[in-house]
Amino acid sequence: MALKGSLKDFNVTQLFNLINLARKTGSLTIEGSGRKAEVCFKEGRLVYASLNGQDDGLIGMLEKAGKISSEQSLVIRARSKTDADKELGLLLINAGYVTQDDIVQSVRSHTLDVVYLLFTWTDGSFRFEPNRLPAEGAITVPINLENIIMEGSRRVKEYEMLQNELPDLNMALKFTERPDAKLHDINLTVEEWRVISFINPRNTIRQISKANSMPDFKMRRIVYGLLSAGLVELVIPEGPKQAPSASEAVSAPPPVKRSLILRLIDRVKRM
């Protein structure tokens, strides 16, 4: 019988803890608010994770991890005659595109990205189906759950902090104009450079995140770091207006004449 319920009653940390302690084998599906994730476990160890809309198979994982270029990705996709990641992985290793270690690291990194994101989901329903494992052709990398649970719990706290510090991903960024900012002395990671390369008052943070295929959590963390270092500033996006939600619509300033403001200034000065 499937184990099912609501995340409001039983959160992801508690679910993972249960699966770990009971050494369960099967597939956990979590869905809600238009998103869905599937995580598989074998004898209490995480072996596979996928997130709707973000998964692009092994090629996507390798590209995201920087193991292959976007051009290589296009060529491989065009030539590939198989959908099975295991088979594709062997072909890529034999063709010298990547090593076995590259594949393991990329899949592991993707799996962890998905799973850590799940820790930030606070509503939705879950269903655990015993003994259901990923399709035969999928690449599985076993990972112990203990460290994931600890890291996930830590990230939940960090996520809450980042949500408070950076609540609106529809804002844009611009480079600070502080004269003392020493941009040339800054050491940035590859991912930070990727974000930096898109910084422009016309691009929202959400758009940059999408362009880099970067989860919101990672994006918030990078932007928070850049903001804290005083390298960038938040600004309202320029250019064509996005469709704002009814509650967040930016209304235009009321039409006023200069003479009216000058009268106000004169009055306040005389007070």
Partner 1 sequence: MQTVKVVVTGPFNAGKTEFISSISEIDVVSTEQKITDGSRVVKGRTTVAMDFGRITVDNDLVLYLFGTPGQKRFDFMWDILSEGMLGFVVLVDSARPETFREAKMLLDRFRRYSATPFVIAANKQDVQDAWLPEDMRIALRASSDAKVLSCVATDRDSVKGVLLELLYSILESIAEG
Residues forming the site for partner 1 (CB under 8 A): 164-165, 167-168, 171, 174, 176-178, 227, 230, 233-236, 244, 247-248, 250-254, 256-258, 260-265, 267-269, 271
Q: Which residues in 52-196 belong to E strands, given as ranges?
A: 125-130, 172-175
Instruction: Give the strand pairing for 45-51 and 125-130.
Output: unpaired
Q: What angle do CA 47, 31, 158 make, to 5 degrees?
A: 75
User: In the complex with partner 1, which residue's Cβ is closer, 52 or 163?
Assistant: 163
User: In the complex with partner 1, which residue's Cβ is closer, 71 or 180?
Assistant: 180
CA distance 21 to 220: 32
Residues sharing a CB contact under 8 Å with residue 69, sequence separation 6 or more, in sequence order:
63
User: In the complex with partner 1, which residue's Cβ is closer, 150 or 236?
Assistant: 236
* Residue 233, beta-bridge partner list: 174
DSSP category for residue 167: -
User: In the complex with partner 1, which residue's Cβ is closer, 2 or 235?
Assistant: 235
Closest separation in Å from C-beta 30 to partner 1: 29
* CB contact at 8 A, 115 and 152: yes
Closest separation in Å from C-beta 251 to partner 1: 5
CA distance 128 to 149: 18
Written as one string, the DSSP assignment of 167-185 is --TT-EEEE---TT--GGG
User: In the complex with partner 1, which residue's Cβ is closer, 79 or 269?
Assistant: 269
User: In the complex with partner 1, which residue's Cβ is closer, 213 or 228?
Assistant: 228
Rg, the chain, Cα only? 24
- Backbone torsions φ then ψ of 145, nearest 5 degrees: -85, -25
Closest separation in Å from C-beta 156 to partner 1: 19
